[in-house]
Amino acid sequence: MNVLLVALGGAIGSVARYLMGAFIANRFGPDFPWGTFAVNVSGSFLIGVILSFVGGGMLPAGARPFLAVGIMGGYTTFSTYNYETLQLIQGGEFGAAVFNTLGQVVAGLVGVYLGVVFGRALGGT
């Protein structure tokens, strides 16, 4: 059953990632991978909230495969982030590549921290 929940969650997360990425790219243009950046940071925040809720009993432990592994696994995208960073390097955009690398790591950590704080404020652990 968990495999089906992960698969369903992955499908939902992947579609959400595609829609968010397309929206951001249309709004801000293709010069910098803002869509991937936004997806990874918001996904970090959301997984912090989800896991705080699971840990605090606000969500059943059985929700973790569907929400954290499936949806968030399908939504966030480490491989795309790496590819887009490589494209920036190959295009001579070294400053943008460094910003993308450091920015996503730092913003992702801040996002997951804020997600945990938010989740705990709502009763999670």
Residues marked as binding for Na(+)? 73, 76
**CA-to-CA dists, residue 2 to 47, 108, 121, angstroms:** 18, 27, 29
Q: SS3 for 110?
A: helix
CB-count burial class (<10 Å; 0-12, 13-18, 19+) for 49: buried
User: Nearest Cα to 1, choosing from 48, 66, 87, 97?
Assistant: 66
Structure tokens that stand for 30 in this block = 């293709």
CA angle 3, 72, 88 (to 5 degrees): 125
